[in-house]
């Protein structure tokens, strides 16, 4: 880690942004994986070559609810962090 302390502030900023982007991509991949798994298990009783209309509707609604829930939790968590940081 001593190599990081030798970086200029611009380079540290670039490194931090790259790490943030990598974390965001990893979070998006995890969200997609969890959503796919949960919605597949909930909506698909007999896997086949095609989804019937009820399975398509179930998957669509499940994904919408999952994303809405994720966004609500993310906003609530972010707001709480901001409140906690403002108390410091």
* pLDDT score recorded for residue 42: 95
- Specify the pLDDT at position 32: 92
Is the CB of residue 33 less than 8 Å from the CB of residue 66? no
The whole-number pLDDT of residue 71 equals: 92
82/49 Cα distance (integer angstroms): 48
pLDDT score at 4: 66
Q: 14: domain CATH number?
A: 1.10.287
Q: What is the model's pLDDT at position 2? A: 53
Please give the pLDDT value at position 3.
61
Q: Give the residue ranges of the chain where pLDDT is below 50.
A: none
- The boundaries of the domain holding residue 83 are 2-44+52-87
pLDDT value, residue 11: 83
> How many structural domains is the chain composed of?
1
The per-residue pLDDT for 15 is 87
DSSP-assigned states of every residue in 29-88 = HHHHHHHHHHHHHHH-SS--SS--HHHHHHHHHHHHHHHHHHHHHHHHHHHHHHHHHHH-
């Amino acid at each position: 880690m001593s190599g990081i302390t030798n970086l200029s502030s611009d380079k540290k900023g670039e490194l931090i942004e790259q790490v943030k982007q990598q974390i965001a991509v990893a979070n998006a991949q995890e969200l997609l994986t969890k959503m796919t798994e949960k919605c597949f298990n909930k909506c698909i009783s007999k896997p086949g070559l095609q989804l019937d209309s009820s399975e398509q509707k179930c998957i669509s609604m499940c994904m919408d609810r999952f994303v809405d829930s994720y966004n609500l939790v993310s906003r609530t968590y972010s707001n709480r962090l901001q409140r906690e940081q403002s108390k410091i």
